[in-house]
Amino acid sequence: MKKMINLKINDIPVTVPEGTSVLQAAKAANIKIPSLCYLKDVNCIGACRVCVVEIKGRRGLMAACTYPVEEGIEVYTNSPMVRASRKTTIELILSTHRKKCLSCVRSNQCELQKLARDYMVDEDRFRGEEPAYEIDQTTPYVIRDNNKCIQCLRCVSTCNKIQGVGAIGQIRRGFDVRVGSPFDQGLDSTSCVGCGQCIVACPVGALYEKSNIDDVWAAIDNPDKKVVFFTAPSIAATLGEFFDLPPGTHVERQMVQAIRMLGDVEVFNMNVTADLTILEEANELIERIQTKKPLPMFTSCCPGWIKFMEHNYHDLLPNLSTCKSPQGMFGALLKSYYCQKNHIDPKDLFVVSVIPCTAKKFEVSRPELGHKGMPDVDVALTTRELGRMIREAGIYFNDLAGEDFDDPFALASGAGKIFGATGGVMEAALRTAANILDGTNEKIEFMDVRGTPGIKEATYRIAGTEVDVCVASGLANARKVVEMVRSGEKNYLFIEIMACPGGCINGGGQPLQRDSVRNYVDLKSLRAAVLYDSDKENEMRCSHESPVCQMLYDEYLEKPGKAKAHSLLHTSYTPR
């Protein structure tokens, strides 16, 4: 048990465990200390100097995020010296910041903008040379604008420490220092995987997704186009946050109604192809075991993870499941089965996926995920982009009664729903594998693979055999798992990897939350709980029970893994 430390903050007695920072201790006293470069579990460097406090008897001001509590100290968070220092610091940051706040994608959600307002700063007090940088738009998924960068280094820490990718870092020196890629290349020339976690970490508008909103409006307004949307499992757990609903609010039916109100569109449920993924993956895993193909098998649902493997582990690409992601499968089915059934020319069908992930924007551009030069999915919209479209359309989202998905892709199992949380794909697969191999549906919940730890291991007895599995989220954790497999230290049969910590519910395209929420609220758990509660309420808990999947196999795909299913639902990978 940790030793408890007694101190005073603004004359209020506080008792916290040893090792607690002054910033965290202040929260325990219901006192807010502003911060900018600090982000819990990501970045704690005391560089921005916005969180400075005065400590009685000490000279100068201390950064509250890095200063540990000490027995008996007296801290002042709002003294004249502290307020003056913070105000000057904010004004100095603004002196080199491109202040296009009205048209900035982060307007009203920008931490710097909020601080400037809270401290009533003069944004033009310090006038100096304002650097002009070329905006990096080289990738299909993220835009990097150094003209708005404040050098907090949260994106750098995320890319290097949390994701272990290292596509960006500090380059140059002195006044010319900036965040950039090696040799000042565009992101498309780096090992960037498109996860978008840098966007989530950025407190200002220096990083944001490349928008496809105009493309979708143009398709909706085009009378020659038939437009269909399908939404990923986690969107219903997070979209409400865009409209100021509490984290953990389930808004699936409101989401469907809001999308329909955008125009003459149909709205389908991507959980259907999450179920389809499980059936194909389960068949592939059994085939690998029987034919002694490369094991362990890694899941392939996450395009950020796939690109990470293509950049870093060419020798293990044969271990990746050949299954397309649920997004890829749905696009292929819509441009084939759905078009044939409804007598639509595939070139006249405009397919929009709504996803929690910026890497999905890269995935839709992969030539492997198209046919005859035509992409299976035309546009991938992030949760944030969908929220902006709904807001632009003037829809009172929170007042909607809600509607159901459109047939024939409406019904899906609870197993498909939990795909959005780390461990969800593994649990869904285990449910079906246990049924196929044991012939029983008794084992439904596999609790060991649930939760938000970065690496989870479990052993289950299926068909009389001990099966070792592993789940990892966050690419730095993924690298640890891959290296253990490579070295022979671990001998797993099946491994689930998600690029984003916590899985899709914490994806790079999800609604942005203020630091005051991100630093003190467990967003990953609240969002994941929505998916698990929905699964529990579903009468179908296993993917193989899905009547929609059964219909697809009966009418079009034949059987899992057979030629027709394989040609449509499976893919290949490219060493990079």
Q: Are residues 130 and 189 in the same domain?
A: yes
Q: Are residues 390 and 442 in the same domain?
A: no
pLDDT tens per residue, range 337-389: 999 999 999 999 999 999 999 999 999 999 999 988 899 999 999 999 999 99
Domain assignment present for 83: no
441 — pLDDT class (breaks 50, 70, 90):
low
Residue range(s) defining the domain that contains residue 377: 213-272+328-399
Set 363, 385, 427, 545: catalytic member: 363
Q: Are residues 152 and 297 in the same domain?
A: no
Set 157, 321, 325, 353: catalytic member: 321
- Would you call 368 a catalytic residue per the annotation? yes
Task: Return d(Cα 307, Cα 305) in angstroms, integer.
Answer: 5
Domain assignment present for 505: yes
- Would you call 325 a catalytic residue per the annotation? no
Q: Are residues 128 and 203 in the same domain?
A: yes
- Would you call 51 a catalytic residue per the annotation? no
pLDDT tens per residue, range 258-288: 999 999 999 999 999 999 999 999 889 888 9
Q: How many domains does the structure of the chain reveal?
A: 4
- Would you call 363 a catalytic residue per the annotation? yes
- Would you call 95 a catalytic residue per the annotation? no
Q: Are residues 382 and 343 in the same domain?
A: yes
pLDDT of residue 440: 62
Residues 189-214 as b or e (16 or more Cβ within 10 Å = b): ebbbbbbbbbbbbbbbbbbbbebbee
Query: Looking at 60-74, 173-187, 514-528, which range is the least confident one?
Result: 173-187
- Would you call 148 a catalytic residue per the annotation? no
Query: For position 74, which CATH number holds?
Result: 3.10.20.740
- Would you call 301 a catalytic residue per the annotation? yes
Set 104, 323, 500, 504: catalytic member: 504
Can you give the pTM of this predicted structure?
0.95
With H, G, I as helix, E, B as strand and everything else as coil, classify residue 490: coil
pLDDT of residue 435: 79
Set 284, 427, 496, 545: catalytic member: 284
Query: For position 259, which CATH number holds?
Result: 3.40.50.1780
pLDDT of residue 257: 98
Set 241, 281, 385, 545: catalytic member: 281
Alpha-carbon radius of gyration of the chain: 25
Residues 535-553 as b or e (16 or more Cβ within 10 Å = b): beebebbbbbbbebbeebb
Q: Are residues 172 and 107 in the same domain?
A: yes
- Would you call 8 a catalytic residue per the annotation? no
Domain assignment present for 447: yes
Q: Are residues 162 and 24 in the same domain?
A: no
Query: For position 445, which CATH number holds?
Result: 3.40.950.10
Enter the DSSP assignment of 487: H
Domain boundary among 207, 233, 252: 207
